[in-house]
Amino acid sequence: MNKQGVLTMLGFAQKAGKLAAGEAAVENFLKKEKIVLLVMSDELSDNRKEYWMKQAEYANVDILTVEISKLDLGWAIGNSPRGIIGIMDQGMAEAIRKKIAE
């Protein structure tokens, strides 16, 4: 995984307004069917991971667990620590998938 590349792409998505960060925002946009990819920190508790896996399955959205701290995820998008991030653009989601696959 290209950690720095993933963080950079998340920053680009934030600037483009194609990102929802934090549990409340992600849940809201999932309900509106605007999220195409979920990025979840491996630091989340097992209960929260299970919850988000079920939400992603129900919404028919891919979810990727990354070995990036909540602090780093939040820092990349200019926020406080975030454990879950929703991407709302298909092109941006593909770019993030590529960086994770590297």
Tokens in use for 46?
Answer: 């097992």
Above 90 in pLDDT, residue 45? yes
4 Cβ neighbours under 8 A, 6+ residues apart: none
Positive or negative, the CA dihedral 96, 98, 100, 102 is: negative
CA atoms of 47 and 98, how far apart (whole Å): 28
Yes or no: say if 37 and 88 are a contact pair by the CB < 8 Å rule: no
Domain borders along the chain are: 3-101
Note the CATH number of domain 3-101: 3.30.1330.30
H helix or E strand, kind and range, residue 80 = none
Tens of pLDDT, residues 60-100: 999 999 999 999 999 999 999 999 999 999 999 999 999 99
pTM of the model: 0.91
Yes or no: say if 82 and 69 are a contact pair by the CB < 8 Å rule: no
Place of tokens 């097992």: 46
Above 90 in pLDDT, residue 21? yes
**φ, ψ at 23 (rounded to 5°):** -60, -45
